[in-house]
Amino acid sequence: MTTPVLSVRDLRVGFKSRQGITQVLHGVSMDIAPGEIVGMVGESGSGKSTTPAAALGLMPRNAIVSGEVQMAGLPVNVARPKDARTDTRGKASVIFQQPMRAFSPYDRLERQITDAIIAQTGVSKKDAKERALHGFERLKLPDPALALTKYPHQMSGGQLQRAMIALAFACEPKLLICDEPTTALDVTVQAQVIHMIRQMAEEDNVGVLFITHDLGVVAEICDRVYVMYAGRIAEENSVGELLGKPRHRYSRALLNSTPVMGEKARFQTIPGNAPAAGAHIEGCAFADRCAAATTVCSLHPPSKTENNSGHFACHNPEPVEAA
């Protein structure tokens, strides 16, 4: 059994404010193996971006974090973000949604990328430059040597995102976290980018956490998927199982809401809204919106049920069709 690049157990995150503590993550656990692409799906406020941020120590001062996190077998002290950042340095890279915002407009790309590589890995400037060039070549940026000399505004959104991916991989991370990297991109560029991420992750044996709200993208790139709702994991399974036979009612509802080419039937939508962050919930977080909720659903939080290659937390799950 290989050591997971990321192992999270019972991660809890709350934010302190004058009104008290707002709990946003309620005990999240997950594993990512090297070379595995794991998707994290959820909507706004589900906690899908907070989870990796807490694991890497990227939390603001008023955050209270607890849980056990290990990166490539070594412990990460998430309770103290400063320590967490030191523990994870050089092991993880992050790609964000808006490539234009991730780069400074005032410096050429080569400078920014080599600075970042050196900061993360400590290699020499010469080596960093070579890595940057190699990265641009791998990502098939037109005329890589010239592209490196450009300023961010001289590149298109898709090209900048590829530059960001090049940077991420050039740091030779064990774990790559992609936070909605293609949401702001054109669909043709998205197709290219997800393909490249997948290819490079396989080549370099990098574990990937791919955060998105788009189930279609998950189907294209992920091996396994975690579905998050209201700061909790609703369901987790291999991608084929989850998309084909979802068990948690929310997973099914999410699938029903996703537009599919070739289908024009009316959507089955989820009534109501997701719970506000920090709301205290007695039973299942989804109970008040679930068409199949039973009495027990509002009283007790559901426990984990193992299911083939994954698990789900639902009192009254989707029935499995008889084979």
Partner 1 sequence: MSEHLLSVKDLCKEFPTPAGVVHAVDHVSFDIDRGHSVAVVGESGCGKTTLALSVLQLISPTSGSVVFDGIDTFAAKGRDLQTLRQKIGVVFQDPHSSLNPRMRVGDSIGEPLRVHRGLRGRELKDRVAQLLEDVGMPPSAAERFPHQFSGGQRQRIAIARALALEPELIVLDEPTSALDVSVQAQVLNLLADLKRDKGISYLFISHSLATVEYLADTLIVMYLGRIVEGGNADEIFADPQHPYTQMLVGSVPQLDPAKRGKRELPKGDIPSPINRPNGCPFSTRCPKVMDRCRAEAPTPIKIGDKEVWAACFLHDKG
Partner 2 sequence: MATQDITPSEPSRLATIWSRVAGNKTFFVGLVLFVVILFAALFAPLISTHDPLKIDFGAKLVAPGSEHWFGTDELGRDLYSRVVYGTRTSLMIGVVVTLLAVAIGAPIGLIAGYEGGRLGFWLMRFTDVFIAFPPLLLPIAITAALGQGLYEAMLALSISAFPWYSRIVYSEAQRVSKSLYVQSARASGFSHFRILTKHMLPNCWTPAITQASMDFGYTILAAASLSFIGIGAKEPDIEWGLMVATSRTKFLDYWWVAMVPGLAILVTVFALNLLGDGVRDLLDPKGDSK
**Does residue number 102 form part of the binding site for partner 1 (CB under 8 A)?**
no
With CB under 5 to 8 Å by kind, the binding choice for 272 among partner 1, partner 2, none is partner 2
**Does residue number 121 form part of the binding site for partner 1 (CB under 8 A)?**
no
- Tell me the Ramachandran region of residue 303: left when phi exceeds 0, alpha when psi lies from -120 to 50, beta otherwise: beta
State which residue, 169 or 250, has the beta carbon closest to partner 2: 250
The C-alpha torsion from 56 through 212 and 42 to 33, rounded to 10°, is: -50
Phi and psi at residue 270, to the nearest 5°: -95, 120
State which residue, 87 or 235, has the beta carbon closest to partner 1: 235
Q: Name the packing angle between helices 125-138 and 157-170 (round to 10°).
A: 130
Of 3, 72, 66, nearest in space to 29 by CA: 66
Q: Which residues inside 32-91 make contact with partner 2, applying CB under 8 A? A: none
- Quick check: helix, strand or coil at residue 158? helix
Of 41, 43, 52, nearest in space to 219 by CA: 41
Shortest approach of partner 2 to residue 48 CB, angstroms? 22
Q: Could you give the CA distance from residue 195 to residue 220 in angstroms, rounded to a whole number?
A: 8
304: DSSP letter: P
Binding characters for partner 1, 252-291, by CB under 8 A (x = yes) = -xxxxxxxxxx-x-xxxxx--x------------------
Shortest approach of partner 2 to residue 166 CB, angstroms? 34
Instruction: Report the 10 Å Cβ neighbour count for 268.
Output: 11
**Does residue number 322 form part of the binding site for partner 1 (CB under 8 A)?**
no
Q: Could you give the CA distance from residue 29 to residue 26 in angstroms, rounded to a whole number?
A: 10
State which residue, 82 or 266, has the beta carbon closest to partner 2: 266
Q: Which stretch binds partner 1 (CB under 8 A): 3-11, 91-99, 104-112, 207-215?
A: 207-215
323: DSSP letter: -
With CB under 5 to 8 Å by kind, the binding choice for 276 among partner 1, partner 2, none is partner 2
**Does residue number 276 form part of the binding site for partner 2 (CB under 8 A)?**
yes
**Does residue number 273 form part of the binding site for partner 2 (CB under 8 A)?**
yes
- Residue 90 CB burial class (10 angstroms; 0-12, 13-18, ≥19): middle
288: DSSP letter: G
Q: Which stretch binds partner 1 (CB under 8 A): 90-98, 111-119, 121-129, 192-200?
A: 192-200
Residues touching partner 2, count (CB under 8 A): 4
- Residue keyed to tokens 């523990």: 87
Q: Which stretch binds partner 2 (CB under 8 A): 112-120, 237-245, 271-279, 295-303?
A: 271-279
Select the residue interacting with partner 1 from 7, 50, 112, 190 (CB under 8 A).
190
Name, in order, each residue with C-beta under 8 angstroms of 86's C-beta and a sequence gap of 6 or more: 57
With CB under 5 to 8 Å by kind, the binding choice for 217 among partner 1, partner 2, none is partner 1
DSSP character string of 84-101 = HHHHHTTTEEEE-S-HHH
Q: On the CB side of 6, how many CA atoms lie within 13 Å of its CA? A: 32
Q: Which stretch binds partner 1 (CB under 8 A): 55-63, 68-76, 114-122, 150-158?
A: 150-158
Q: Which residues inside 19-58 make contact with partner 1, applying CB under 8 A? A: 43-44
- Report the interface residues with partner 1, using CB under 8 A: 43-44, 142, 156-159, 186-192, 194-195, 213-217, 219-220, 222, 239-240, 243, 253-262, 264, 266-270, 273
- Report the interface residues with partner 2, using CB under 8 A: 271-273, 276
